Amino acid sequence: MNKSRLEAFSDGLFAVAITIMVLALEVPHGVNLGALGRLMPLFLSYVLSYIYIAIFWINHHHLMAAARKINSGVLWANLHFLFWVSLIPFFTAWVDENQAAPVPVAAYGIILMMCFVAYRLLEILLIRAHDSDAAIVRALRPGAREKPTILTFIVAILMSAVHPFVSLAVYIGIAIVWLWPHPRLEKLLGYVDVCDVMPRRKK
């Protein structure tokens, strides 16, 4: 089964999600920095969601690049993952519209957590689609970051009922942890630092 259509469709949805969030940014009603400052909460929520979508896209790119086989189960798992990603712009706007109220912050955390759950499910089905000695199987087992991430999300979601801004800070912390892509997948794909491939100057 050809994976190129899966990758093209996925990339398109990631791009649409980011575009929707950009269009939600309002133009300041004024010409001074104060007018821009009033929109800072919206801008910061956009930045956080943009980073999350970027994290999901980078890891998804690595995952699909490493995959050698896909089947119907992988296709459905990928659509399931993209479903949760597509909801990020809506819940980002809800958090901003209600000034980080507890319920929107909790819902935002649930959406992000479900993206990680769906991503791990996609990994599991890709593992099952390959032979046990395949390189991608060795690279993906076990999900060292996914389980602690999901547990941290659960704590932050529950905490949002009392301290929504603390929960948002936890969401930021999780994003920082995931800024670096899966190291074993990077090694499998042969990604190296640009300094390692540039020709060295002769002394």
Q: What is the pLDDT of residue 30?
A: 67
What pLDDT is stored for residue 199 in this prediction? 43
- pTM confidence score: 0.85
Q: What is the mean pLDDT of residues 122-143?
A: 82
pLDDT of residue 198: 37
Phi, psi of 38 (to 5 degrees): -65, -25
Q: What is the mean pLDDT of residues 160-166?
A: 92
pLDDT tens digits, one per residue of 78-120 = 999 999 999 999 999 898 888 889 999 999 999 999 999 999 9
Is residue 133 within a helix (H) or strand (E), and if so which, with residue range? Answer: none
Question: Is the pLDDT reported for residue 146 higher than 90?
Answer: no
Burial of 38-50, coded b for 16+ CB within 10 Å and e otherwise, reads: ebeebeebbebbb
